[in-house]
């Protein structure tokens, strides 16, 4: 697959032919919603969601104030705060810090921001050894693949694929790796040395707390704590919209995040980081750096798309989306897949470069129903499609088709007559076979499935006929 959003349709077609991967994705789309529903039922989800939304709306409306407060507290805690306008500035800042301490080895915790900026590749090009320490991220790193899900980066890989990957990449002699626990134990053995030898540790953040200058990270493996405390330099990479006013606000958000992401009340580790090692501390880093990334987020702030900045990166909209489950994460061509990616990617990379993504939607509305941040994703996708049409990014045939449909919709009688005639013709032509393998102006559908023949008569016509029959019987 081609890893750019411009090739979404081509990538999706390829994904639809990969039977085993589709079966795994279908299972994911069944399991994760059930786990999420069970966890959400334990709390007053709607009340908690409304509470967190009020906090987040307030924070985004006053983001400049909270950013200044956060910077002051980070400095008071003994840390350094850096501002990055774009991916290049963040990557350059991290590399400068690494070079200032003559670092050779870097341990990384899972971070969507460093995925967004391509930090790992940047550091490796500069000659540093970089190891992803989250198990899923480690698997896709040694496989040379991008993540397919923002919470479970290796959801797309089978147990056998991971086994073969470890046997090939880990030079540990002959062994069988019979089951997942054996593979996890081997990964732990390999990664333990990387933790102990890392000169610099880099993590992301689930929340930045303005009142205290702390950063909050949730993990299930503990790798984030090891990466943060063992190396002599600790770097946190986060985006500016992660601010929350107080620790209790961040914890309220985490109650939603864990239930939505993995179907549990809390994650195994919830860690607060506040600066470098103090004089009486037994361990911890000698230097503490926080790098805040903008990367077009200030353009989103105050726009019609500001709600998107409340995204928690839980991934629940992905596992509830029929398009994501069918096409898989790699089809989206960038860091953020699924409904949230179909909104965020065009905003961060440009609508012309990701014009297919806002159309990768069935308008079922499930993403909005389950989103813990109450983001109206279907509305935002429709707004992006309207922008495409206004700016003539949408293909001309689509624009003319939409204009024709809009014109016909103004004349219900004509609309019903034309659609009724089309239904009658298709019913007569397709009643023997039950469908059409080819149909004019419907090639996008018939390329991958038959078009079912109508059963005869429009819904309105059948409804009126049924009402008349009921009246006659009465």
**Whole-number Å distance between alpha carbons of 34 and 48:** 20
Which residue shows structure tokens 């939409």?
402
User: Is residue 2 predicted with pLDDT exceeding 70?
Assistant: no
**Spatial CB neighbours of 472, under 8 Å, sequence gap ≥ 6:** none
The pLDDT value given to residue 287: 98
Tokens of 151: 């919470």
The DSSP call for residue 178 is: -
Token pair of 105 as six digits: 């080895």
Cα–Cα distance, 242 to 111 (Å, whole number): 13
**What's residue 440's pLDDT?**
83
pLDDT band at 3 (very low <50, low <70, confident <90, very high): low
334 dihedral zone (left: phi>0; alpha: psi -120 to 50; beta): beta
How is residue 4 written in tokens? Answer: 């750019």
Q: What is the pLDDT of residue 312?
A: 97
- Identify each DSSP E strand in 224-380 by its residue range: 233-239, 243-244, 269-273, 287-293
Q: What average pLDDT does this structure show over 145-158?
A: 94
Please compute the mean of the pLDDT values over residues 137-152 and round it to a whole number. Answer: 95
Catalogue the E-assigned strands of 245-357.
Answer: 269-273, 287-293
The answer on pLDDT for 448 being more than 80 is no
What is the total residue count of the chain?
474
Longest CA span, the chain: 91
Residue 269 confidence (pLDDT) above 90:
yes
Q: What is the rounded distance in angstroms from the CA atom of residue 149 to the CA atom of residue 32?
A: 12
User: Interhelix angle for 45-61 vs 247-262, to 10°?
Assistant: 130
**If pLDDT is split at 50, 70 and 90, which confidence band does 85 have?**
very high
- Distance, in Å, from the CA atom of 333 to the CA atom of 98, rounded to the nearest integer, reads 29
Confidence at residue 242, expressed as pLDDT on a 0 to 100 scale: 98
Q: What is the mean pLDDT of residues 132-139?
A: 97
Q: Which of the residue ranges 62-66, 264-268, 413-417 has the most confident prediction, judged by mean pLDDT? A: 62-66
CA distance 332 to 115: 14
What H or E segment, with its residue span, contains residue 129? strand 129-132
Q: pLDDT band for position 453 (50/70/90)? A: confident
How big is the chain by its Cα radius of gyration, in Å? 26
Mean pLDDT of 295-313: 97
Measure the CA–CA gap between 281 and 9, rounded to whole angstroms: 54
Overall average pLDDT of the 154-173 stretch? 94
Rounded to an integer, the average pLDDT of 59-74 is 98
Is pLDDT at 87 greater than 80 in this prediction? yes
Residue 1's pLDDT is what? 52
Residues β-bridged to residue 84:
293
Q: How far apart are CA 402 and CA 121, in angstroms?
A: 43
- Averaged pLDDT for residues 249-257: 96
Mean pLDDT of the chain: 93
Question: Please, what are the domains in the chain?
Answer: 1-36+306-394 (1.10.1060), 43-295 (3.40.50.10420), 412-473 (no CATH)
- Give 353-402 pLDDT, tens digit per residue: 999 999 999 999 999 999 999 999 999 999 999 999 889 887 777 778 77
User: What pTM, to 2 d.p., does this model score?
Assistant: 0.89
Mean pLDDT of 447-464: 80
- At residue 111 the predicted structure's pLDDT band, cuts being 50, 70 and 90, is very high
Q: Give the highest mean pLDDT range of 19-23, 212-216, 391-395, 462-466.
A: 212-216
Task: Name the percent of the chain lying above pLDDT 90.
Answer: 78
Q: Sorting pLDDT into bands at 50, 70 and 90, what band is 433?
A: confident
Q: Which pair of structure tokens corresponds to residue 470?
A: 């009921």
Residue identified by tokens 């500016």 is 240
Count Cβ atoms below 10 Å from residue 423 Cβ, excluding itself: 18
**237 - beta bridge partners?**
291
Nearest of 153, 133, 277, 271 to residue 206 by alpha carbon: 271
């Amino acid at each position: 697959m081609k890893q750019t959003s411009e090739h979404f349709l081509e990538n999706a077609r390829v994904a639809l032919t990969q039977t085993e991967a589709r079966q795994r994705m279908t299972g994911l789309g069944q399991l994760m919603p059930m786990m999420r529903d069970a966890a959400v039922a334990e709390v007053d989800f709607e009340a908690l969601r409304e509470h967190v939304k009020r906090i987040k709306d307030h924070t985004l409306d006053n983001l400049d104030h909270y950013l200044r407060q956060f910077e002051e507290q980070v400095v008071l805690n003994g840390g350094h705060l850096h501002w990055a306008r774009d991916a290049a500035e963040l990557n350059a800042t991290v590399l400068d810090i690494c070079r200032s301490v003559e670092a050779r080895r870097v341990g990384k915790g899972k971070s969507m921001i460093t995925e967004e900026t391509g930090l790992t590749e940047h550091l490796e090009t500069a000659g540093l050894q970089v190891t992803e320490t989250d198990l899923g991220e480690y698997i896709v790193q040694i496989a040379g693949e991008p993540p397919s899900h923002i919470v479970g980066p290796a959801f797309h890989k089978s147990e056998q694929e991971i086994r073969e990957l470890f046997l090939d990449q880990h030079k540990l002699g002959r062994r069988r790796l019979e089951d997942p626990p054996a593979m996890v134990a081997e990964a732990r053995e390999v990664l333990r040395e990387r933790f102990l030898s890392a000169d610099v540790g880099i993590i992301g953040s689930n929340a930045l707390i303005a009142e205290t200058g702390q950063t909050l990270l949730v993990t299930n493996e503990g790798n984030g704590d090891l990466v943060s405390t063992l190396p002599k330099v600790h770097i946190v990479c986060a985006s500016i919209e992660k601010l929350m006013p107080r620790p209790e606000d961040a914890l309220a958000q985490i109650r939603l995040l864990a239930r939505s992401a993995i179907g549990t009340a809390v994650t195994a580790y919830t860690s607060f980081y506040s600066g470098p090692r103090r004089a009486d501390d037994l361990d911890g880093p000698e230097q503490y750096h926080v790098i805040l990334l903008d990367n077009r987020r200030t353009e989103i702030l105050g726009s019609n798309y500001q709600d998107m900045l409340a995204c928690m990166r839980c991934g629940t909209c992905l596992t509830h989306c029929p398009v994501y489950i069918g096409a898989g994460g790699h089809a989206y061509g960038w860091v953020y897949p699924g409904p949230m990616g179909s909104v965020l990617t065009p905003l961060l990379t440009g609508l012309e470069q990701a014009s297919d993504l806002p159309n990768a939607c069935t308008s079922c509305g499930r993403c909005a129903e389950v989103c813990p941040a109450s983001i109206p994703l279907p509305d935002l996708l429709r707004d992006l499609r309207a922008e495409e049409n206004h700016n003539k990014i949408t293909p001309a045939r689509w624009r003319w088709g939409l204009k024709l449909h809009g014109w016909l919709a103004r004349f219900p009688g004509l609309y019903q007559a034309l659609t009724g005639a089309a239904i009658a013709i298709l019913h007569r032509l397709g009643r023997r076979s039950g469908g059409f393998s080819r149909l004019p102006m419907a090639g996008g559908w018939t390329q991958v499935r038959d078009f079912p023949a109508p059963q005869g008569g429009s819904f309105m016509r059948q409804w009126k006929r049924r009402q008349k029959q009921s009246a006659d019987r009465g």
